[in-house]
Amino acid sequence: MRSIVPREKIIVALDVPTKAAALELVAQLGSEISFFKIGLQLYTAEGPEIVRAVLAAGAKVFLDLKLHDIPNTVAKAVESASQLGVQMLTIHLTGGAEMIRAAIAGRKNNMSILGVTVLTSANEQTLRETGVSDKIDNHVLRLAKLGVTTGIDGVVASPHEIKMLRAEFGDQIKIVVPGIRPSWSEPGDQKRVMTPREALHAGADYLVIGRPIVTHPQPREAIARIFDELSALS
C-alpha cells in the first residue's frame, strides 16, 4: 500500500453557523488540512461569499449542496458553482439520468461532480419509507452505476459500501466518504459509520469528518489524534 498522507485525504466539514466560525477553523487547521466542506447550513447562512473567503485563505472547497431539481435548474446551479472555483460539488443521483447529464453539461471547468447515493443517516427502514424495498447495498450500487454511465467523477457513499464500490469501479471514480467517526468519538445521528483507518484501508479516496473535529474543544488536537490513528497505514 502506498504511503498515506492525511492532509490529502481528510476533508473537514465546516458545519458551523457563521462565516467567522468557519474562517476561524480554517485558520486553526489550515497548516494541517487543505480541504474543507461547505454544506447547506453554512452556505444558506452566508451564501457564495463564504466559498470565496475559504478559497482566498488558500484552502480547497468541497461544496456539498446535494443538488436535486429539474435538469435546467441543476445545470445552472452547477455552472454557478464552477465559476466560484470550488473543487468538488455534490448532486443527488436519485435525480435521474437526465438531471445528471444536465449537471455535467453545466460544468465550465474541471470541477469534480460527485453523486450522492444513500445518506449515511439512512437505513433500510428509511428506504422502505420512500418506496425502495431493496437492500441498501443494492440500491447504492444501482445509483452509482447510473452515475458512472452518465459521467460523474465520483460518488458519496457510507463507509460500509466502499469495498463494494471499489470492486465494481476500480480507480474509475473517486469515493468520498462521510460517516467517519474516530474510535474516541460518538456516532451521533450517523447509522453507517467507520473509523478513519478502516475507511482508508477499505479504499476511500477522501474522508469527510465534521463533528469530531468541529465540536472538539481543541480542533487541532482532534486532528492530531486522527493522524495518530492513520499512522499505522503509512
Identified catalytic residue from 19, 60, 66, 163: 66
Q: Is the dihedral of CA 101, 103, 108, 113 positive or negative?
A: negative
What is the Cα–Cα distance from 215 to 222, expressed in whole angstroms? 9
Burial class of residue 209 in the structure, from the number of CB atoms within 10 Å of its CB (0-12 exposed, 13-18 middle, 19+ buried): buried
Find, among 155, 6, 166, the residue nearest to 88 by Cα. 155
**Which helix or strand (DSSP H or E) is residue 84 part of?**
helix 71-84
Q: Catalytic residue at 60?
A: no
Angle at 228 between CA 3 and CA 6, to 5 degrees: 40
What is the Cα–Cα distance from 104 to 36, expressed in whole angstroms? 22
Cell numbers for 36: 474543507
Active-site positions read 66
